Chains A and B, each alone.
Chain A
């Protein structure tokens, strides 16, 4: 008889905290393979199509970069919040508001010319996201409203603002009544790295954000205070850190970063406002932050993996005629397995050593 049990480790295993994402990926691949098999596909071919085929040419890698940029920006902001144990689920709404706010300015400036247009558009996008984050911060610090609930609700409000915009005042008058805005002018469009591909300079925004937040968390007192607040509120109060100010900071920073991601998306690869400006980047970024172990470098890699699930979903749709919702399925499995594997950071599996000793002393007693 197998007699295994979970036992608390004396202290958390660092190795396991790095191995856990790898286990999660492996389990996702196995489950994915089984899933493909039951759908009547050759699992190896299907997994190849999903995870390898998208990256077999330069175009694939540049497309990966197009998706990595917004994912990383959102995830870096979320990481700040999660470090402080502020469970901000609102990157999606902040992303959309960023796109909407920046897009609005870009549409106002359709006729404007000059190098100042783009920075202004980006600034407005980031500010719009920041304001959306500020709403959550206000509700949290003033009224003690749970940020999980408020951010989720604000996500829907943001989406409906966007829908209202593209169905109403921001609709392209020459757009045959399609729910989308006019295309932005060249001055309000992010420059691409090469004319052959869609990859634009937003990837640099992401890299700068990674460096800045890495420095913030590892080198500054502010970062330390955020970490302490997340780990242990009473210790933060005891040490004299200002809880409310820190909550405001992380929510505003996350809002600005997600807003920047949103405005970069609409002024970059989308080029206009439409109802589909976010394929759920704000939600996927939650998985990125956890999968990346709340560490900037880990987040970059996790962003690449999650970006790949978007591309894999499209590829599977084209080559295997499978539904695109595979993307969400794989993202969900990843998070699910990750949370399960994370149990092994604080616990380990042991064969019950006591079982034999106990039973040998039990038997004579009962006999």
Chain B
């Protein structure tokens, strides 16, 4: 008997079909991967199972019985647990209080009893949790544990995880996988949604691949290569090979010298003695788990936040106190993490969104807008970067994440920046668009632009960056050529352990030469 069986599930939204005649079967104890590009319909399908969304057609069988899930509470009663990509935790409450909120009344009555159970369950599955800690003091990985333990407390038979590894360090991913294996050994089925094909191959027993709302294939990941998996996801016409030569770079373009910064925002991360250099013609990658100071650092580079003048330099010109538009004149291009609502104005047309940062070139003259040039600029971005949109008059919010990102990156690149700063360039972007974006970044590098990429996607950083480092709790790890940094080393850096750097530095003379430059910073931080 199958744990869950979906038959002919169809869900239509205005203007698109999210799921069409989807069939999915998961056996007890099976770890089943659901693969697909963004917008392929994975999230909708999960929400249908969890009762958040009602399907237009189709039936669902749970342990052989046909059922209709009335809502998340009903789903939890049945034994379906879900961990969303974005956690729903109250930061000002403790772990136990957060968990109590989601439990049925009877079970949440005694907080002491609950704490005991939290400790038992979390230790049993190898993810230690202190029920008395406040959520805002937990790392992202620990917050995820709270979400998982919350599900496990309720005798879960099917655990759905939506991109659980995207916020974890490599070490945390390993711990998570151990837990999931233990769960599956105990008979709990797991539905695992991920973009990361290597992880799927390492963890999952079966995989169902969705493409444009329909099931495009099934496979056993362990017997399938990553390339084959990717091919099933994106179809036949997207090139998959990505093998970029590493570059050395020339003159230093961006340098940050001993930058410390405390934001007015009490929840912002304080930056401590950050120093880094990005050369023209190289890509520097900064790894790190979100919320460790990336945003604050990037705001100080873009000029949306300012610091002392002599802390940020563009080609030896001190710019720390300059406003964004003055930095743009000096050659800055910036691709922010938030596409809608910062990188682009949601309700404005692509044409106007082109003007948003392109206003300093020949698109305006004496404060007057040259409309035909603005139109041509928008058209050029759409053509050159293969943006799928209804035209230059399409509202930015009508584009898919990947297409909008291509547009934003295209807008910055076509202004010939001398320094391009990209925050999470391919986050939530489908494989086809991600490849195009990475390809363009490399092309820009080869034209001599200094590129700084901040990302949580370690594979991506290894693929495109020439030098790499990590940021943790507002401090920057040493910088080293990418091929000298093992994934383990990077994981340690991401977790804030910068001391082990000596090992790599000894092995590799080129990064050893940089080590002394970093030392004062390290001491300053201590």
Contact B324 A228 (CB under 8 A): no
Contact A239 B341 (CB under 8 A): no
Contact A222 B302 (CB under 8 A): no
**Does B112 sit at the interface, judged by CB under 8 A?**
no
**Does A169 sit at the interface, judged by CB under 8 A?**
no
Complex Cα gap A234–B343 (Å) = 8
Interface-side segment among A8-16, A124-132, A255-263, A286-294: A8-16
A220 to chain B, nearest CB (A): 5
Partner of A232, one of B12, B346, B359: B346
Question: Closest residue of chain A to B363, judged by CB?
Answer: A221
Which of B58, B303, B356, B398 neighbours the largest number of chain A CB atoms within 10 Å of its CB? B356
Partner of B57, one of A7, A234, A241, A357: A357
Contact B342 A238 (CB under 8 A): yes
Interface-side segment among B364-372, B469-477, B481-489, B494-502: B364-372
Contact B14 A9 (CB under 8 A): yes
Question: Closest residue of chain A to B16, judged by CB?
Answer: A10
Partner of B68, one of A219, A228, A231, A362: A362
Partner of B54, one of A219, A239, A242, A358: A358
Contact B368 A228 (CB under 8 A): no
- Contacts of A239 on B, CB cut-off 8 Å? 324-325, 356-357, 359
Complex Cα gap A354–B327 (Å) = 53
Question: Closest residue of chain B to A216, judged by CB?
Answer: B367
**Does A45 sit at the interface, judged by CB under 8 A?**
no
How many A-B pairs with Cβ below 8 Å? Answer: 100
A110 to chain B, nearest CB (A): 42
Contact B344 A354 (CB under 8 A): no
- Contacts of A224 on B, CB cut-off 8 Å? 352, 355, 359, 369
B507 to chain A, nearest CB (A): 41
Classify the interface of chain B: helix, strand, loop or mixed. mixed
Contact B348 A365 (CB under 8 A): no
Question: Closest residue of chain B to A9, judged by CB?
Answer: B14
Complex Cα gap A366–B56 (Å) = 18
Besides A224-B359, A237-B324, A238-B357, 7 other A-B contacts (C-beta < 8 A):
A9-B14, A221-B367, A231-B345, A235-B342, A235-B344, A357-B55, A358-B68
Known: A235-B343, A362-B68. A220 touches B369 (CB 8 A): yes
Complex Cα gap A11–B397 (Å) = 8
Complex Cα gap A354–B58 (Å) = 12
**Does B418 sit at the interface, judged by CB under 8 A?**
no
Partner of B341, one of A234, A353, A364: A234
Known: A10-B398, A219-B369, A354-B56. A231 touches B348 (CB 8 A): yes
Contact A232 B341 (CB under 8 A): yes
Q: List 19 A-B contacts (CB under 8 A).
A: A8-B14, A10-B398, A221-B369, A224-B355, A228-B345, A228-B352, A228-B356, A231-B345, A231-B348, A234-B338, A237-B342, A238-B304, A238-B356, A239-B324, A239-B356, A239-B359, A358-B54, A358-B56, A365-B67
Contact A10 B323 (CB under 8 A): no
**Does A144 sit at the interface, judged by CB under 8 A?**
no
For chain B residues 187-242, which have a beta carbon within 8 Å of chain A? Answer: none
**Does B385 sit at the interface, judged by CB under 8 A?**
no
Complex Cα gap A227–B397 (Å) = 16
Partner of A231, one of B324, B347, B394: B347
Complex Cα gap A366–B302 (Å) = 59
Contact B367 A220 (CB under 8 A): yes
- Contacts of B344 on A, CB cut-off 8 Å? 235
B363 to chain A, nearest CB (A): 9
Residues of chain A at the chain B interface (Cβ within 8 Å): 7-12, 219-222, 224, 227-228, 231-232, 234-235, 237-242, 353-354, 357-358, 361-362, 364-366
Contact A365 B357 (CB under 8 A): no
Question: Closest residue of chain B to A229, judged by CB?
Answer: B345
Complex Cα gap A340–B56 (Å) = 30
Complex Cα gap A354–B54 (Å) = 9
For chain B residues 303-356, which have a beta carbon within 8 Å of chain A? Answer: 303-304, 323-328, 334, 336, 338, 341-348, 352, 355-356
Query: What are the 8 A-B residue pairs with the smallest beta carbon separation, nearest first?
Result: A240-B325, A240-B324, A234-B342, A10-B15, A232-B345, A231-B345, A235-B345, A11-B398
Contact A353 B68 (CB under 8 A): no
**Does B2 sit at the interface, judged by CB under 8 A?**
no
- Contacts of B270 on A, CB cut-off 8 Å? none
Complex Cα gap A353–B55 (Å) = 11
Partner of B342, one of A232, A240, A353, A358: A232
**Does B66 sit at the interface, judged by CB under 8 A?**
yes
B396 to chain A, nearest CB (A): 10
Complex Cα gap A238–B302 (Å) = 8
- Contacts of A364 on B, CB cut-off 8 Å? 66
- Contacts of B367 on A, CB cut-off 8 Å? 220-222
- Contacts of B522 on A, CB cut-off 8 Å? none
- Contacts of B369 on A, CB cut-off 8 Å? 219-221, 224
Contact B347 A12 (CB under 8 A): yes
Contact A238 B343 (CB under 8 A): yes
- Contacts of A221 on B, CB cut-off 8 Å? 359, 364, 367-369
For chain B residues 1-32, which have a beta carbon within 8 Å of chain A? Answer: 12, 14-15
**Does B59 sit at the interface, judged by CB under 8 A?**
yes
Contact A353 B359 (CB under 8 A): no
**Does B426 sit at the interface, judged by CB under 8 A?**
no
- Contacts of B405 on A, CB cut-off 8 Å? none
- Contacts of B334 on A, CB cut-off 8 Å? 238
Complex Cα gap A220–B16 (Å) = 38
A82 to chain B, nearest CB (A): 14
Complex Cα gap A222–B355 (Å) = 12
